Amino acid sequence: MKLGHLTDSHDDRAVTGFAIDHRKVAPGTVFGAFRGARVNGEDFIDEAVRAGAIAIVARPEARVTGALHIADEEPRAAFARLAARFFAPFPETAVAVTGTNGKTSVVEMTRQLWRMAGHHAASIGTLGVTTADERVTTGLTTPDVVTFLSNVAGLAREGVTHLAFEASSHGLTQYRTEGLRVAAAAFTNLSRDHLDYHGDMGAYLTAKLRLFSEVLCPDGTAVIWADDAESGRVFDLAQARGNRVMTVGERGTSLRLVGREPTLLGQGLTIEAEGATHQVRLPLIGAYQAANALVAAGLVIATGGETAATLSALARLQPVRGRLERAAIAASGAPVYVDYAHTPDALEAAIAALKPHAGGRLIVVFGAGGDRDLGKRETMGQVAAHHADRVIVTDDNPRSEDPRAIRAEVLRGARGAIEIGDRREAIAAAIHDAGPTDIVLIAGKGHEQGQIVGDLVLPFDDVAVAREAAGSL
């Protein structure tokens, strides 16, 4: 592709790729020079030009010599628009999901429902790039825009027609998910998270709302979990833009949840939609899993799915990795669940999901991540202490912080909890202690395959460790 085709000019130089890391620049590259929290990409413009960059996307005041300066007050947005033109075409139907909790489950459930309807579908998010036959881990909820768009274009070349992706607050703020025609966007919920980055809840919500104010197509559909306190803000924004709105949940009007009854391995849902009542046996436990499933159904219906068939397909959903995943059965007969819950609300929801199924105690093992929002640690401790019967505070991903200091902050809220720093020992202790009517919940890391300690990522999988501990009893 010629540079002139991207910039509406007469420049006939060939564009070979896009990069936001100067070390990945090759002859013909368009380089994005952005100011970040730790690194200023403008400092590497000269190195990028020497490496062969033919165009630099940067602020108007940036100094650029030897390459075309594509100046924009918001260079990330300009870079994303150009990259999208370069990497296109993309899957015909794309939907995005934002919110504090539930994004991963919703995009994966949407993919499954599309697949059951006969579509070649994929999802992108925390679990990686997921299709019917493969998964490629990216390690980020939303990868950088170059990786994101190249992956999406690759999926289209492989025949994928339907794509669901997570739109994190970081990704939305940094324009990492631009360029696709987003036919439907979903809002799950909002609770405290990432305040180390956004500063306050107002800024955090504003970042989420950008999915609806700028990314969602003007003729697209907003699917909103109506039972969240912030759902009204999303509803008003979508209506003001003229978007179609679908609300789901107990207060929803499109998919109204009028009944939910826990069963041994799932729950029965009664849903009113389009004047009819539908009975669904969802093979997943917990109120928040019902919420995720209904939001996913809303996205599928918003993009052409038949309502009755979509709701019926909920009965065939498979568990999502690390989301209330039953990892093992202890020798005593107690089930052991692993969940990604790492915020106060998510931890409370996971406990609430399991509590009705525990004839005895609910034993919770959890910690808090280092170099992340410090304010949620004590609150998480309070949630666990208030709602669980036995609490073991352990290490999560301490990163550069002192693990003992992190545990101490959590323990300030978790009075009466046991402290076992080594996560493997903590998991084993919980499983060994569990009686035949108890349930064990291991929270915080979910699907993750490593534990970040300092600059090292040590192999660690909660599910595998739980199975080992259960098998050794």
Distances in Å between the Cα of 367 and the Cα atoms of 35, 116, 124, 443 are: 33, 37, 27, 8
Cis peptide before 27 (omega within 30 of 0): no
Residue 376, annotated as binding a ligand = no
Query: What is the distance between the alpha carbons of residues 234 and 103, in angstroms, rounded to a whole number?
Result: 16
Residue 213's H or E segment, with its range, is: none
294 three-class SS: helix
Could you tell me which of 445, 439, 451 has the C-alpha nearest to residue 463?
A: 445
- Alpha carbons 361 and 275: distance in angstroms, whole number: 42
Is 130 annotated as contributing to ligand binding? Answer: no
Q: How many Å apart are CA 140 and CA 320, to the nearest integer?
A: 17
Q: What is the CA radius of gyration of the chain?
A: 23
The reply to whether 176 sits in an annotated binding site is yes
Is 142 one of the annotated binding-site residues?
yes
Neighbour tally for 289: CB within 10 Å: 25
Burial class (CB in 10 A: 0-12, 13-18, 19+), 201: middle
Asked if residue 343 belongs to a known ligand binding site, the reply is: no
* 398 in a known ligand binding site: yes
397 is in an annotated binding site: yes
Burial group, residue 226, by CB count within 10 angstroms (0-12, 13-18, 19+): buried
Helix (H) or strand (E) holding 332: none
Burial class, 37, CB count within 10 angstroms (exposed 0-12 / middle 13-18 / buried 19+): exposed
Annotation-wise, does 111 bind a ligand?
no
C-alpha span between 472 and 461 (Å, rounded): 17
Is 99 annotated to bind ligand? yes
Q: What is the DSSP-derived secondary structure letter of residue 316? A: G
Both tokens of 249, joined, read 């949940």
448 in a known ligand binding site: yes
Cα–Cα distance for residue pair 453/399, rounded to 1 Å: 5
Residue 371 annotated as binding site: no
Amino acid in the structure at residue 437: T
CB atoms within 10 A of CB 173: 18
The pair of three-digit structure tokens given for residue 449, joined into one six-digit string: 């395959």
Phi, psi of 184 (to 5 degrees): -150, 145
Task: State the sign of the Cα–Cα–Cα–Cα dihedral 232, 233, 236, 241.
Answer: negative
102 is in an annotated binding site: yes
Q: Is 389 annotated as a binding residue?
A: no
135 assigned ligand-binding residue: no
**169 annotated among ligand-binding-site residues:** no
Binding annotation: 99-105, 141-142, 168, 174, 176, 372, 396-399, 444, 448
**Binding site for ATP: which residues?**
99-105
Binding site, annotated residues for meso-2,6-diaminopimelate: 372, 396-399, 444, 448
